[in-house]
């Protein structure tokens, strides 16, 4: 982007953030929040949302859709799904070519009615926002949970930016105001460093319970968002990934704490470099840790890269980053990690943290969607690295791909198995199950796989898989089912 345009966008963002236009008084919440922030129908089981932003809807190419797969006592079931698009009853807007509804997704009980809701970004949506044409301004719609599942939706009001582009490209949820509810939504765009936060409330308004925001001053543009309580103060923090083109530093990750403070959160320093991030307590010390994924091959112009990609662990502490413990970087050449670091593996393209084996420590799932398996190129693989009191236990790690025993399907060129990951307990046994997205499966129709968590780790016994056609998506073009997962 031309620097003058970037400067204008950043100035508009800061003006919007500091000009008093974004603060909306919230009414006190009196309703009970959902037991699980991802239980859309309130049946006591966590559900999963899978995006298909390339799906054809109503004859419109890349209009986009999301698919809800409901949890049960036996986990996810491909036969128990719901497809939602902008053509669905009660959802604002209309399915149009190139909107890419589902480009980003995040869950939370945003109106505190006891049912989880789903925020959906459509980063290429055209709106009337801003002083420009509104082309590709982007949009975010909240789909409301109910006993019957998701029903209806509300478009969130876009902040008064002069030239919004790609609004809703990045989403994450958490308890950013410290009220005890994981009902706040953070939104980022493609072209500047602003992060906007919609507070949870009791109404289905375009600003939820209020809206505020801040400029991630360590960056010039945002590329990822991840939330979690790194400093253990009971208020979730945000890890903002992005670029700083002014200093030519790419794919850096910055920690911001005190999101409930005024006038703006505190920049608490940078963590390990990466394109993606996940937050969870790996060592069980009560402070969430930060894992970043840096899938790019080693380049002299890009800090933190390595052959085939890597992941890094930054420990949390009461002061934010634990500066007394250096970040730990792991590649496929690290002792105990299956496979080997090879050009274009993209190890670290996706990262997810949750407790798979029930020991109270978050385990890490890592996607390498361009990994070759036998003669199949870019078919993909996933690696699990258990958490331990000392951090990530690389010597106890294990890996799966579509050639592994018990994994449905066959490793084929371009499947991109592992491009998206989610760890959530979908069967209520207290152990996180892994859902894997492979949006390249069957010529970009896409598919997802679900593997159950056990005390011994993930098992392929009873693993299930379902594709775009199975859940009711049109496969006339390239739906890319599984490109993003929330749960």
pLDDT-derived band at 395 (thresholds 50, 70, 90) equals very high
Tell me phi and psi for residue 441, to 5 degrees: -55, 135
Checking if the pLDDT of 132 tops 80, the result is no
Q: Tell me which range, 31-35, 124-128, 242-246, 420-424, is most confidently predicted by mean pLDDT.
A: 420-424
pLDDT of residue 7: 37
**pTM to 2 decimal places:** 0.92
Mean pLDDT of 198-211: 91
pLDDT of residue 20: 30
pLDDT of residue 32: 56
Average pLDDT, the chain: 91
């Amino acid at each position: 982007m031309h620097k003058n345009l970037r400067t204008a966008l950043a100035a508009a963002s800061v003006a919007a953030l500091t000009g008093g236009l974004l603060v909306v008084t919230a009414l006190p919440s009196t309703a009970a929040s959902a037991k699980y922030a991802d239980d859309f129908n309130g049946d006591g089981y966590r559900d999963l949302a899978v995006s298909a932003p390339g799906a054809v809807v109503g004859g419109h190419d890349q209009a986009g859709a999301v698919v809800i797969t409901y949890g049960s006592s036996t986990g996810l079931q491909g036969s128990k799904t719901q497809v939602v698009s902008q053509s669905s009853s009660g959802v604002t807007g209309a399915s149009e070519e190139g909107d890419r509804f589902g480009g980003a997704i995040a869950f939370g009980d945003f109106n505190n009615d006891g049912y989880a809701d789903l925020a959906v970004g459509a980063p290429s949506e055209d709106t009337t926002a801003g002083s420009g044409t509104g082309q590709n301004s982007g949009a975010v719609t909240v789909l409301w949970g109910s006993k019957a599942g998701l029903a209806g939706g509300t478009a969130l009001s876009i902040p008064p930016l002069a030239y919004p582009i790609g609004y809703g490209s990045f989403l994450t949820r958490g308890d950013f105001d410290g009220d005890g509810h994981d009902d706040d939504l953070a939104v980022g765009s493609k072209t500047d460093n602003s992060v906007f936060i919609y507070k949870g409330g009791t109404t289905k308004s375009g600003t939820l319970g209020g809206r505020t925001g801040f400029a991630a001053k360590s960056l010039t543009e945002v590329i990822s968002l991840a939330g979690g309580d790194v400093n253990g103060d009971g208020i979730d923090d945000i890890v903002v990934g992005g670029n700083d083109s002014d200093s030519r530093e790419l794919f850096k990750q910055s920690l911001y704490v005190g999101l409930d403070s005024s006038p703006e959160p505190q920049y608490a320093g940078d963590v390990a470099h990466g394109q993606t991030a996940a937050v969870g307590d790996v060592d069980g010390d009560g402070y969430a840790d930060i894992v970043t994924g840096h899938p790019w091959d080693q380049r002299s112009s890009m800090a933190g890269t390595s052959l085939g990609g890597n992941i890094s662990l930054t420990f949390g502490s009461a002061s934010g980053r634990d500066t007394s413990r250096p970040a730990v970087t792991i590649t496929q050449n690290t002792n105990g990690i299956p496979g080997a670091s090879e050009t274009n593996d993209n190890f670290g393209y996706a990262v997810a943290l949750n407790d798979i084996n029930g020991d109270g420590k978050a385990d890490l799932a890592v996607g390498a969607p361009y990994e070759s398996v036998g003669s199949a190129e870019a078919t993909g693989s996933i690696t699990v690295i258990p958490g331990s009191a000392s951090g990530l236990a690389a010597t106890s790690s294990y890996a799966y791909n579509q050639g592994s025993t018990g994994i449905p399907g066959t490793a084929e060129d371009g499947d991109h198995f592992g491009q998206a990951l989610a760890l959530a307990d979908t069967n209520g046994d207290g152990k996180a199950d892994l859902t894997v997205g492979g949006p390249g499966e069957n010529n970009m129709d896409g598919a997802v796989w679900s593997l159950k968590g056990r005390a011994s780790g993930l098992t392929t016994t009873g693993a299930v898989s379902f594709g775009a056609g199975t859940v009711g998506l049109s496969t006339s073009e390239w739906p890319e089912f599984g490109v993003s997962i929330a749960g």
